[in-house]
Structure 1
Amino acid sequence: MISSPIWLPATLVAGAMQAWRTAVQRRVSDSLSLNGAGLVRYLYGIPFALVLIAAYRLLFPGPLPALHPAFLLFCAVGGLAQIVATNLLISAFRHRNFVVGTAYSKTEAVQGAVLSFFLLGENLSPLSWGGIGCGVAGVMLLSTGGRKMGPMDFLRALGQPAAVAGIASGFFFALTAIGIRRATQAVDTPDPVLAALIVLAVTVPMQTVLQGGWLLWREPGEMRQVFSSWRVSGQVGLLSALGSACWFAGFATAPVALVRIVGQVEVAFTMAFGHFYLREQMQRSEAAGLLLVVAGVVLALAGAL
């Protein structure tokens, strides 16, 4: 059920912020370990998350709303799922290029639709389901990386490390969306933006403790590199906080599946960053895949109206 029109602009901005953040984070991952590159988005996102909620409270003053008992549990579930998803996505980047790694993870749209149907009881129109199918076809075409592949070649490619890591990343990103939506619902306020910012301000420190503790235990020497990369990592934290705030606002006001379908426009931003920022060549098949993704978003929006 859509409770506010804010979900659409929030989702579009979130897609742009996430693509930008992922592009910068990939450059950080060249000098940091898998867990170190994952930690920077949370560690450096804390001050920006706190600034966002403080600024919002200054603009719209009032007491903080009550939180239901399950609030922290949902934040923890969503936060842990996002850590796993991010690590898997970075792992996919190390097997294939930036655009292809992200394309595999975008199967989260269909995975999120199925999971939200069973776990949240959210239904979509047939037209929106058609948009999901079109979008998935587009990201699968993107995943070929410009190579001509028959059906059997494609099936074999799904077993490659980049595909496995990317698809698993999409699954955990879908779980993240469900956990965050339930967390925003556990905030006793009619203001979805405030609910989203509260969830963000609580979840990011949780994620920092979880992944930071793991890094200190398993790779204690890596923490020095995390702090020494503050110039670029600070950008990751800022973009991550802004993007997550928008994603969370979308999840608070619209069905998870619909937000994730429209969020596939991130692929367009991703291809732009991959081509202009990371200097990766765009193949003809990638352009065709992008058109399918955009068509899928249009169908999903038409089905939601």
Structure 2
Amino acid sequence: MYASGLWVAFTLTASAAQTARNVMQRELTGALGALGAAQVRFLFGLPFAVVFFVGLRFATGVAAPAIAPAAAAFIVIGALAQIGGTALMLAAMRERSFVVVIAFTKTEAAQVALYALLFLGETPTFKLVGAIALATVGVFLMAGSGAEAARAGWRPIAMGLVSATFFAFAAVGFRGAVTRMETPSTAMAATTVLVAGLAIQTAVLLVWLALFDRAGLKAILALWRASIVAGFMGALASQLWFVALALTDAARVRTLALVEVLFAQVASLKLFRERPSRREWLGMALIVAAAAMLIGG
């Protein structure tokens, strides 16, 4: 397996942390709006990313790497795409089931394979294509029937699908960045990209909120106690994602990350009392099968 399977452990742990962050952000969306809740992930995640960076620097003795122009360009692409994806996902969650929205955003895996081929030259294997196809069918099953989608309306569905496109560009951007960092340390490359990406995202959203939504900015600061935990989980998830993306190709990581839908189902059942249907159980089984294909080699 790639990197002795370490990418699997990092991806699964990141998926669990991201599910926790999504739940927290969903709860904050009502008070802060989609952009405000998105900012929580970045503003309160940045200090933790800096702590990760400093701790790694002293623990390993590896110097902070230089960021080449090519890596910087990929970081900007990934950072801006992640803002768009996060805001659209949270806006969709206000109108539709938590699990269903997560399911639509996870059509990202198929898009990642395409964009990674086009922009990074990463050709997917037949097994990976099969896993993506199997997992994507599972995702659509979990998204509910056509009648359920019609009742929900097109807005949350469209936002979820476009969100997936943004997240796909983010994954490819950050994969491109970490593989172009001038350092022999995978962890240092990932942490440096994380700090740089969060700094860009925080700056962009702070300027936006200061210009167009000062009340929202004040509300974010007022809710710092709830936001700081979401920020930590977001920074932890991103740290683990980036290490996984440094170890293997983007499509492989983002396809295995579809297990987040299963974690979202557990969270939804316990917190939001949204019980799975038989169709959703079948979808989950297909996602598990796809994950098994990837973990098996």
Q: What TM-score, normalized by structure 2, do the two folds share?
A: 0.95
Q: CA deviation at 1:247?
A: 0.5
Structure 1 residue 195 displacement after superposition: 0.4
Deviation >3 Å, runs of 4+: 1-5, 153-159
- The superposition leaves residues 185-209 of structure 1 with CA deviations (integer Å, 9 ceiling, x where unpaired) of 2211121111000111111011001
Could you tell me which runs of 5 or more consecutive residues in structure 1 were left unpaired when the two chains were aligned.
Answer: none
The separation in 2 between residues aligned to 1:10 and 1:170, in whole angstroms, is 21
Q: Residue in 1 aligned with 2:173?
A: 179
Find the aligned partners of 1:3 and 1:202 in 2 and give their Cα distance. 25
Matches within 5 A, 1:262-273: 262-273=256-267
Q: Give 2:29's aligned amino acid.
A: S
Aligned-pair CA distance for 1:140: 0.3
Q: CA deviation at 1:212?
A: 1.5
Question: Aligned pair 1:126/2:120, yes or no?
Answer: no
- Equivalent positions of 1:96-175 (< 5 A) are 96-144=96-144, 147=145, 149=146, 160-175=154-169
Q: Distance in 1 between matches of 2:106 and 2:9?
A: 19
Which residue identity lines up with residue 35 of structure 2 in the other structure? Answer: N
Q: Secondary structure at the match of 1:282?
A: coil
Q: d(CA) in 1 for partners of 2:35 and 2:57? A: 33
Question: With structure 1 as the length reference, what TM-score do the two structures score?
Answer: 0.92
- Counterpart AA for 1:271: Q
Which residue of 1 is the match for residue 49 of structure 2?
49
2:138 aligns to what SS in structure 1? helix
Number of matched residues?
A: 297
Query: Could you report, residue by residue, the CA deviation over 1:182-236 in whole angstroms, capped at 9, with x for unpaired residues?
Result: 1112211121111000111111011001111111111111111000111111011
CA pair 237-185 structure 1, distance change in 2 beyond 3 A: same
Q: In structure 1, which of residues 194, 198, 223 is the aligned counterpart of residue 217 of structure 2?
A: 223
Pairing 1:256–2:260 present:
no
Task: Name the residue aligned to 2:21.
Answer: 21
One-letter identity of the residue aligned with 1:20: A
Assess, with a 3 A threshold, how the Cα gap between structure 1 residues 4 and 211 changes in structure 2: closer, same or farther: farther
Of residues 195, 201, 207, the one that matches 1:201 is 195
The residue number in structure 1 matching 2:79 is 79
Cα displacement (A) at 1:3: 5.4
The percent identity for this pair of structures is 34
How many Å separate the matches in 2 of 1:4 and 1:81?
30
Deviation at 1:18, TM superposition (A): 0.5
Deviates further, 24-33 or 281-290: 281-290
Match of 2:110, SS state, is helix
Closer/same/farther in 2, CA of residues 81 and 99 from structure 1, 3 Å limit? same
Question: Which structure 2 residue ranges, 5 or more long, are not aligned?
Answer: none
Tell me if the contact between 2:29 and 2:94 (Cα under 8 Å) persists in the aligned partners: no
Residue 63 of structure 1: aligned partner: 63
Report the structure, 1 or 2, having the larger helix content. 2
Offset at residue 157 of structure 1 (A): 8.1
Residue 255 of structure 2 aligns with an amino acid whose one-letter code is I
Q: For the Cα contact (< 8 Å) 1:104–1:140, is it kept in 2?
A: yes
Q: Is the 8 A contact 1:77 1:179 kept in 2?
A: yes
Task: Name the residue aligned to 1:188.
Answer: 182
Query: Are the aligned partners of 2:5 and 2:295 in contact in 1 as well (CA < 8 Å)?
Result: no
Contact conserved, 2:15 with 2:259, CA < 8 A, in 1?
A: yes
Per-residue deviation, 1:12: 0.7
Name the SS of the counterpart of 2:32 in structure 1: coil
CA RMSD between the two structures: 1.9
State the distance in 1 between where 2:291 and 2:18 align.
17
